Protein backbone atom coordinates (compact mmCIF):
# COMPACT_ATOMS: atom_id res chain seq x y z
CA UNK A 1 0.00 0.00 0.00
CA UNK A 2 3.07 2.32 -0.05
CA UNK A 3 2.57 3.60 3.52
CA UNK A 4 6.30 4.43 3.86
CA UNK A 5 6.76 8.18 3.07
CA UNK A 6 9.81 7.50 0.90
CA UNK A 7 7.99 4.80 -1.04
CA UNK A 8 4.96 7.08 -1.35
CA UNK A 9 7.09 9.92 -2.76
CA UNK A 10 8.76 7.50 -5.16
CA UNK A 11 5.31 6.37 -6.28
CA UNK A 12 4.20 9.98 -6.84
CA UNK A 13 7.31 10.77 -8.90
CA UNK A 14 6.88 7.58 -10.93
CA UNK A 15 3.28 8.48 -11.72
CA UNK A 16 4.31 12.00 -12.77
CA UNK A 17 6.85 10.53 -15.21
CA UNK A 18 4.35 7.97 -16.55
CA UNK A 19 1.71 10.67 -17.04
CA UNK A 20 4.14 13.06 -18.74
CA UNK A 21 5.15 10.37 -21.22
CA UNK A 22 1.84 8.61 -21.88
CA UNK A 23 -0.51 11.59 -21.53
CA UNK A 24 1.88 13.32 -23.90
CA UNK A 25 1.08 10.60 -26.44
CA UNK A 26 -2.65 11.32 -26.04
CA UNK A 27 -2.01 15.03 -26.46
CA UNK A 28 0.03 14.39 -29.62
CA UNK A 29 -2.65 12.33 -31.35
CA UNK A 30 -5.44 14.77 -30.38
CA UNK A 31 -3.35 17.74 -31.53
CA UNK A 32 -2.43 16.06 -34.83
CA UNK A 33 -6.00 14.95 -35.57
CA UNK A 34 -7.44 18.39 -34.76
CA UNK A 35 -4.82 20.58 -36.42
CA UNK A 36 -6.66 20.88 -39.76
CA UNK A 37 -9.99 21.89 -38.23
CA UNK A 38 -11.26 25.48 -38.00
CA UNK A 39 -10.49 27.04 -34.58
CA UNK A 40 -13.97 26.47 -33.09
CA UNK A 41 -14.14 22.82 -34.21
CA UNK A 42 -10.53 22.31 -33.11
CA UNK A 43 -11.41 23.41 -29.57
CA UNK A 44 -14.43 21.10 -29.58
CA UNK A 45 -12.32 18.15 -30.80
CA UNK A 46 -9.73 18.80 -28.10
CA UNK A 47 -12.34 19.06 -25.33
CA UNK A 48 -14.32 16.00 -26.47
CA UNK A 49 -11.20 13.97 -27.24
CA UNK A 50 -9.53 14.89 -23.96
CA UNK A 51 -12.71 14.25 -22.00
CA UNK A 52 -13.08 10.87 -23.70
CA UNK A 53 -9.51 9.93 -22.78
CA UNK A 54 -10.14 10.81 -19.14
CA UNK A 55 -13.41 8.83 -18.98
CA UNK A 56 -11.71 5.83 -20.58
CA UNK A 57 -8.94 5.98 -17.97
CA UNK A 58 -11.50 5.92 -15.17
CA UNK A 59 -13.24 2.93 -16.80
CA UNK A 60 -9.98 1.05 -17.40
CA UNK A 61 -8.84 1.76 -13.84
CA UNK A 62 -11.92 -0.04 -12.55
CA UNK A 63 -11.25 -3.16 -14.64
CA UNK A 64 -7.43 -3.12 -14.81
CA UNK A 65 -7.04 -6.60 -13.32
CA UNK A 66 -9.39 -8.08 -15.93
CA UNK A 67 -7.61 -6.31 -18.79
CA UNK A 68 -4.20 -7.56 -17.68
CA UNK A 69 -5.41 -11.14 -18.12
CA UNK A 70 -6.43 -10.73 -21.81
CA UNK A 71 -3.78 -12.31 -24.08
CA UNK A 72 -2.37 -10.28 -27.00
CA UNK A 73 -4.27 -7.15 -25.89
CA UNK A 74 -1.07 -5.08 -25.84
CA UNK A 75 -0.03 -6.41 -29.26
CA UNK A 76 -3.42 -5.52 -30.77
CA UNK A 77 -3.22 -2.04 -29.25
CA UNK A 78 0.30 -1.57 -30.61
CA UNK A 79 -0.75 -2.49 -34.15
CA UNK A 80 -3.74 -0.15 -33.92
CA UNK A 81 -1.49 2.69 -32.77
CA UNK A 82 0.90 2.11 -35.69
CA UNK A 83 -2.10 2.35 -38.03
CA UNK A 84 -3.23 5.58 -36.40
CA UNK A 85 0.24 7.16 -36.79
CA UNK A 86 0.22 6.20 -40.49
CA UNK A 87 -3.34 7.52 -40.95
CA UNK A 88 -2.58 10.87 -39.31
CA UNK A 89 0.35 11.53 -41.64
CA UNK A 90 -1.61 10.48 -44.74
CA UNK A 91 -4.54 12.72 -43.75
CA UNK A 92 -2.20 15.67 -43.35
CA UNK A 93 -0.78 15.15 -46.85
CA UNK A 94 -4.19 14.64 -48.47
CA UNK A 95 -5.89 17.61 -46.81
CA UNK A 96 -5.13 19.93 -49.75
CA UNK A 97 -7.14 17.66 -52.07
CA UNK A 98 -10.47 18.43 -50.35
CA UNK A 99 -11.80 21.93 -50.00
CA UNK A 100 -13.00 21.57 -46.41
CA UNK A 101 -10.02 19.63 -45.06
CA UNK A 102 -10.62 17.12 -42.24
CA UNK A 103 -14.10 16.91 -40.69
CA UNK A 104 -14.82 17.14 -36.98
CA UNK A 105 -16.36 13.65 -37.09
CA UNK A 106 -13.31 12.19 -38.82
CA UNK A 107 -10.95 13.81 -36.32
CA UNK A 108 -13.01 12.56 -33.35
CA UNK A 109 -13.11 9.02 -34.79
CA UNK A 110 -9.31 8.96 -35.00
CA UNK A 111 -8.95 10.48 -31.53
CA UNK A 112 -11.32 7.96 -29.92
CA UNK A 113 -9.49 5.00 -31.50
CA UNK A 114 -6.17 6.29 -30.17
CA UNK A 115 -7.70 7.19 -26.78
CA UNK A 116 -8.77 3.58 -26.26
CA UNK A 117 -5.25 2.26 -26.88
CA UNK A 118 -3.25 4.90 -25.02
CA UNK A 119 -5.65 5.27 -22.10
CA UNK A 120 -5.39 1.52 -21.60
CA UNK A 121 -1.57 1.71 -21.74
CA UNK A 122 -1.53 4.65 -19.33
CA UNK A 123 -3.85 3.24 -16.70
CA UNK A 124 -2.13 -0.16 -16.67
CA UNK A 125 1.21 1.60 -16.14
CA UNK A 126 -0.23 3.76 -13.35
CA UNK A 127 -1.90 0.73 -11.75
CA UNK A 128 1.46 -1.01 -11.68
CA UNK A 129 3.29 2.00 -10.21
CA UNK A 130 0.60 2.69 -7.57
CA UNK A 131 0.78 -0.90 -6.19
CA UNK A 132 -2.90 -0.87 -5.27
CA UNK A 133 -2.83 2.56 -3.58
CA UNK A 134 -6.17 4.11 -4.57
CA UNK A 135 -4.95 7.62 -3.67
CA UNK A 136 -2.00 7.35 -6.05
CA UNK A 137 -4.23 5.93 -8.77
CA UNK A 138 -6.62 8.90 -8.43
CA UNK A 139 -3.64 11.30 -8.40
CA UNK A 140 -2.46 9.83 -11.70
CA UNK A 141 -5.91 10.23 -13.24
CA UNK A 142 -6.25 13.84 -12.07
CA UNK A 143 -2.77 14.77 -13.28
CA UNK A 144 -3.48 13.40 -16.75
CA UNK A 145 -6.44 15.76 -17.28
CA UNK A 146 -4.60 19.10 -17.71
CA UNK A 147 -1.71 17.40 -19.53
CA UNK A 148 -4.09 16.08 -22.20
CA UNK A 149 -6.42 19.09 -22.52
CA UNK A 150 -3.80 21.86 -22.53
CA UNK A 151 -1.09 19.87 -24.27
CA UNK A 152 -3.37 19.02 -27.23
CA UNK A 153 -4.04 22.67 -28.09
CA UNK A 154 -0.37 23.60 -27.85
CA UNK A 155 0.64 20.69 -30.10
CA UNK A 156 -2.05 21.46 -32.72
CA UNK A 157 -0.92 25.10 -32.96
CA UNK A 158 2.76 24.14 -33.05
CA UNK A 159 2.26 21.61 -35.89
CA UNK A 160 0.36 24.18 -37.96
CA UNK A 161 3.32 26.56 -37.64
CA UNK A 162 6.05 23.91 -37.97
CA UNK A 163 4.80 21.02 -40.16
CA UNK A 164 7.91 18.90 -39.52
CA UNK A 165 6.61 18.44 -35.96
CA UNK A 166 3.93 16.16 -37.46
CA UNK A 167 6.75 13.74 -38.33
CA UNK A 168 8.04 13.93 -34.76
CA UNK A 169 4.56 13.33 -33.32
CA UNK A 170 3.84 10.42 -35.64
CA UNK A 171 7.26 8.99 -34.80
CA UNK A 172 6.46 9.06 -31.08
CA UNK A 173 3.12 7.32 -31.69
CA UNK A 174 4.66 4.71 -34.00
CA UNK A 175 7.49 3.96 -31.54
CA UNK A 176 4.94 3.60 -28.71
CA UNK A 177 2.90 1.20 -30.85
CA UNK A 178 5.97 -0.85 -31.74
CA UNK A 179 7.04 -1.00 -28.10
CA UNK A 180 3.56 -2.14 -27.02
CA UNK A 181 3.73 -4.88 -29.66
CA UNK A 182 7.07 -6.36 -28.57
CA UNK A 183 6.35 -5.91 -24.84
CA UNK A 184 3.14 -7.93 -25.01
CA UNK A 185 3.71 -11.05 -22.92
CA UNK A 186 2.65 -13.45 -25.67
CA UNK A 187 4.69 -11.75 -28.41
CA UNK A 188 7.71 -11.42 -26.11
CA UNK A 189 7.56 -15.18 -25.56
CA UNK A 190 7.81 -15.76 -29.31
CA UNK A 191 10.84 -13.49 -29.77
CA UNK A 192 14.45 -14.48 -28.99
CA UNK A 193 15.70 -12.95 -25.74
CA UNK A 194 17.91 -10.39 -27.49
CA UNK A 195 17.55 -6.88 -26.04
CA UNK A 196 18.67 -5.14 -29.24
CA UNK A 197 15.85 -6.90 -31.12
CA UNK A 198 13.28 -5.32 -28.80
CA UNK A 199 14.67 -1.93 -29.80
CA UNK A 200 15.17 -2.74 -33.48
CA UNK A 201 11.57 -3.82 -34.13
CA UNK A 202 9.95 -0.57 -32.88
CA UNK A 203 12.67 1.37 -34.72
CA UNK A 204 12.03 -0.40 -38.04
CA UNK A 205 8.25 -0.04 -37.69
CA UNK A 206 8.64 3.68 -36.92
CA UNK A 207 10.89 4.13 -39.97
CA UNK A 208 8.33 2.35 -42.17
CA UNK A 209 5.56 4.69 -40.98
CA UNK A 210 7.63 7.85 -41.44
CA UNK A 211 9.51 7.05 -44.67
CA UNK A 212 6.89 8.14 -47.27
CA UNK A 213 6.11 11.42 -45.50
CA UNK A 214 9.77 12.17 -44.81
CA UNK A 215 10.58 11.58 -48.49
CA UNK A 216 7.79 13.95 -49.53
CA UNK A 217 8.87 16.58 -47.00
CA UNK A 218 12.47 16.51 -48.22
CA UNK A 219 11.35 16.63 -51.86
CA UNK A 220 9.26 19.74 -51.18
CA UNK A 221 12.16 21.39 -49.36
CA UNK A 222 14.54 20.61 -52.22
CA UNK A 223 12.14 22.39 -54.64
CA UNK A 224 11.93 25.39 -52.33
CA UNK A 225 8.25 24.74 -51.49
CA UNK A 226 7.22 25.23 -47.88
CA UNK A 227 5.24 22.25 -46.53
CA UNK A 228 2.65 24.67 -45.12
CA UNK A 229 1.84 25.84 -48.66
CA UNK A 230 1.77 22.33 -50.10
CA UNK A 231 -0.68 21.08 -47.47
CA UNK A 232 -2.92 24.15 -47.27
CA UNK A 233 -6.58 23.45 -48.16
CA UNK A 234 -7.34 24.10 -51.82
CA UNK A 235 -10.21 26.41 -50.85
CA UNK A 236 -7.80 28.65 -48.95
CA UNK A 237 -5.33 28.68 -51.84
CA UNK A 238 -8.13 29.62 -54.27
CA UNK A 239 -9.44 32.42 -52.05
CA UNK A 240 -5.90 33.79 -51.73
CA UNK A 241 -5.49 33.91 -55.50
CA UNK A 242 -8.88 35.62 -55.91
CA UNK A 243 -8.25 38.18 -53.17
CA UNK A 244 -7.26 41.77 -54.15
CA UNK A 245 -3.58 41.70 -54.84
CA UNK A 246 -3.59 37.90 -55.25
CA UNK A 247 -2.25 36.14 -58.32
Residue 242 pLDDT more than 70?
Answer: no
**C-alpha dihedral, 110 to 113 to 117 to 123, nearest 10°:** 100
Note whether 156 and 35 are within 8 A (CB): yes
CA 160 to chain centroid, in Å, comes to: 16
CB 210 within 8 A of CB 86: no
| pLDDT over 90, % of the chain | 5
Domain span holding position 70: 5-242
**pLDDT of 113 above 90:** no
Domain membership flag for residue 66: yes
Residue scoring higher pLDDT (244 or 235): 244
d(CA 225, CA 240): 17
Do residues 107 and 37 make contact, with C-beta atoms less than 8 angstroms apart? yes
Is the residue at 247 inside a domain?
no
Is the residue at 194 inside a domain? yes
Residue-wise burial string across 11-40, b where 16 or more C-beta atoms lie within 10 A, e elsewhere: bbebbeebbeebbbbbbbbbbbbbbbbeee
pLDDT band at 204 (very low <50, low <70, confident <90, very high): very high
Looking at residue 65, its pLDDT comes to 62
Domain-located, residue 132: yes
Query: Which tens digit of pLDDT belongs to each residue from 149-186?
Result: 788 888 888 877 877 888 888 888 888 888 888 888 88
Half-sphere exposure of 215 (CA within 13 A, CB side): 6
Confidence of residue 4 (pLDDT cuts 50, 70, 90): low
Task: Say if 133 falls within a structural domain.
Answer: yes
Tell me if 22 is assigned to some domain. yes
Where does 35-103 have alpha helices with state H? 39-62, 64-68, 73-94
Give 17-35 pLDDT, tens digit per residue: 666 666 777 788 888 888 8
Residue 53 to residue 153: CA distance in whole angstroms: 15
Domains contained in the chain, number: 1
3 — pLDDT class (breaks 50, 70, 90): low
User: What is the pLDDT of the chain when averaged over all its residues?
Assistant: 75
Residue 99 has pLDDT above 60, yes or no: no
Cα dist from 163 to 71, 75, 227, whole Å: 38, 30, 7
Amino acid sequence: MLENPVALMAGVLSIVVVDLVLSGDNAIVIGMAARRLPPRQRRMAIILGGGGAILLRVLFAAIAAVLLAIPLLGAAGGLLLLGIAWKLLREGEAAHDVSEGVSLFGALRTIIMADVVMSLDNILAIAGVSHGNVGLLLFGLLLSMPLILFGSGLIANAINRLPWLALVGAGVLAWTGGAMLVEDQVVAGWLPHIESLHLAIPGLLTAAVLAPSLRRYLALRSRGVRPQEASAPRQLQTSTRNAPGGR
